[in-house]
Amino acid sequence: MRIFVLTRSYPSADDLYQYPFVHRRVLAYRALGHEVAVFRFDPARPGGEHVFEGVTCETGDVAALGRALTRFRPDVAAFHGPSETLWQAFAAIDPALPVCAWLHGSEIPGFLRAKAGWVPDPAERARQFGLLEKRIAFWREVLGAWPANLRLAFVSRDARELMRGDLGGLLQDARTAILYNPIDTALFAAYPKQPCDRFAVLSIRPHDSHSYGNDLAVAAVLALRDKPWFDRMRFTFVGDGPLFEETLAPLRLLANVTIQRGFLRQEEIARLHREHGVFLVPTRLDTQGVSRDEAMASALVPVTNAVYAVPEFVDTACAGLVGPDDAAGLAREIAAMVEDPALFLSRSAAAAARVRAQSGHEVIIPRELAWMAEAVA
């Protein structure tokens, strides 16, 4: 197929953390022989492009989008992160082109509502809730007269149910699919962990919203300080965002904590995975699922919170799973594996196996391509 990937964001050398899961799809589609064009919509830019790991991403406004579609002549559009502005522009250009649209997060009103609730600034919170009302109205308009060329993919069952909570009967299951984000299990290979790896804890997160729960990770580390084996532990925190310094400040004086500001290429993430055994990934929302599953693919044991879609992807056999906002529970799960290396090793093996069965790219990519092929047919 000729697949036109239309996206709100795409990684670049100076901004690595912009929809890397879309980039992995592009590489996988191309590896299987499909022709792929990538376009990042930006109404403020008349045109431009950049190359990331061999993939050319064109960026531009409505006019540039129209030119790109005419030039590429796609069979199908793979649309990641549809928004009001982008959908209206796209639909006006080519109302007949089959569209398979992925909803990853804030496109879903229920997700946006939950995330807005964690915004501390009252003015910004009010703006987010205003955007929420516009988003609900947008989806009611689109799905009320559901275009024949449109299909929707959700990256979890929970996400689809969140959507149904605001859209009710307008959401037609026959026109939707559940397609988990594919995990590149070749890049994130499962090197067998050793008992000593349970002492090495890794966190790789954005720090731009309290919904990520990074403060819970910090509190969990501090709760472990009175353990007799704490000095044997090694914690690595990597990430960036406006909350980075403030959140991690309590850990700065701990000798066994390494803090690295900035984001990493996925090959660098895979290298860090090989050097650690536990992935500390708390959340107050359905966030960082791809990062969690990439770590699991590398045989790390995730320690996280059982909120929203998280229980679709992990259980107590392969993870340390605790309730909402339970920093003490996160600490207890880490301690349990430190004090019982057999538990750590069994969870590590189970984590690697579960991702491969449920979300491995060798499982999900063929499903995505078959779904798009059905839309074309």
Domain ranges across the chain: 2-182+361-376, 195-358
Question: What amino acid is encoded at 105 in this protein?
Answer: G
Query: Quick one: tokens of 130?
Result: 């205003």
Indicate the pTM of the whole model.
0.93
Domain 2-182+361-376 has CATH 3.40.50.2000: yes
CA 228 to chain centre: 36
What does the pLDDT profile of the chain (377 residues) look like in tens digits?
Answer: 999 999 989 999 888 878 899 999 999 999 999 999 999 999 888 889 999 999 999 999 999 999 999 999 999 999 999 988 888 888 878 888 999 999 998 899 999 998 888 888 899 989 989 989 999 999 999 999 999 999 999 999 999 999 999 999 899 999 999 999 999 999 999 999 999 999 999 999 999 889 999 999 999 999 999 999 999 999 999 999 999 999 999 999 999 999 999 999 999 999 999 999 999 999 998 766 899 999 999 999 999 999 999 999 999 999 999 999 999 999 999 999 999 999 999 999 999 999 999 999 999 999 999 999 999 99
**Based on the number of CB atoms within 10 Å of its own CB, is 337 exposed (0-12), middle (13-18) or buried (19 or more)?**
buried
- Residue 211 CA to residue 332 CA, distance in Å, equals 21
8 A C-beta contact, residue 291 and residue 266: no
DSSP letter at 175? Answer: G
- Residue 170 CA to residue 303 CA, distance in Å, equals 37
Ordered alpha helix ranges (H), the chain: 20-31, 62-72, 84-93, 109-116, 122-144, 157-167, 214-223, 244-248, 266-274, 289-297, 310-313, 327-339, 341-358, 361-376
- 2-182+361-376 and 195-358, same CATH topology: yes
Topology of 195-358 in CATH?
A: Rossmann fold (3.40.50)
- Residue 16 CA to residue 202 CA, distance in Å, equals 19
Which is it for the CA torsion 19, 2, 93, 101, positive or negative?
A: negative
